[in-house]
Amino acid sequence: MSQSDSQPRKPATGRASTARRAGSTIATKSSSRASTASRKLPAELLTPDEVRALIRACSATAPTGVRNRALLVVLYRGGLRVGEALALYPKDVDAARGTIRVLHGKGDRDRLAVIDDGALAVVARWVDVRRTLGISSRRRLFCTLAGGPLQASYVRQLLPRLAGRAGIDKRVHAHGLRHAHAVELVEDGVPVHHIRDQLGHASLAVTDRYLRRIAPGARIEALRVRRWEL
């Protein structure tokens, strides 16, 4: 056996080692930049007036506009995630009880989300339109005009367009409508366990963390009363 086979290889030194270290550093920085670029920025909290403007940016007469209005209303007034809303069937909406049955929420948990009469009227308008289009009740509630499934990517592209049309200078995501719903429940004094059930969280701890992240108003007001002068 030759000396090169029997002896351990010495670590590289000099230019070769420096070049490898430099290449590793560049690759690490590049990976970090790519990870940061792909990270989604959080939605900015919308006021009730901004949500109304967003919904009104959809046509009140064109079938797609009527559908989109109903979809945004369900996200906002029912607090549903976009995937939950797109998975609904007409039979999941109980207008008499004012509820929406979510069969497969996060963690595959089912729940009843409560929705008000004003929001149900907007949904009913879309149900009437889809009936005139001959769309079967066996099709998803929010579907294309041909009855096909509506994709989440469509909603992601729709909301920034509507925000521009409504003159809203904020990052607008579908989840931002759920945030707005949760914040309004807090401001209305709804008990946190009801908010947990409405949003479909696994525990009160999850809801507490969620609300502290998106609705820090109480903390801000509590700390702003402190006085200090120089």
| Catalytic residue list | 81, 106, 175, 178, 201, 210
Q: Nearest CA to 178 among 195, 161, 203?
A: 195
Torsion sign across C-alpha atoms 191, 107, 116, 157: positive
Q: What are 145's two structure tokens?
A: 């005009």
Q: Nearest CA to 170 among 86, 49, 71?
A: 49
CA distance readout (Å), 200 to 59, 169, 182, 223: 31, 30, 12, 31
Q: What are phi and psi of 194, to 5 degrees?
A: -70, -40
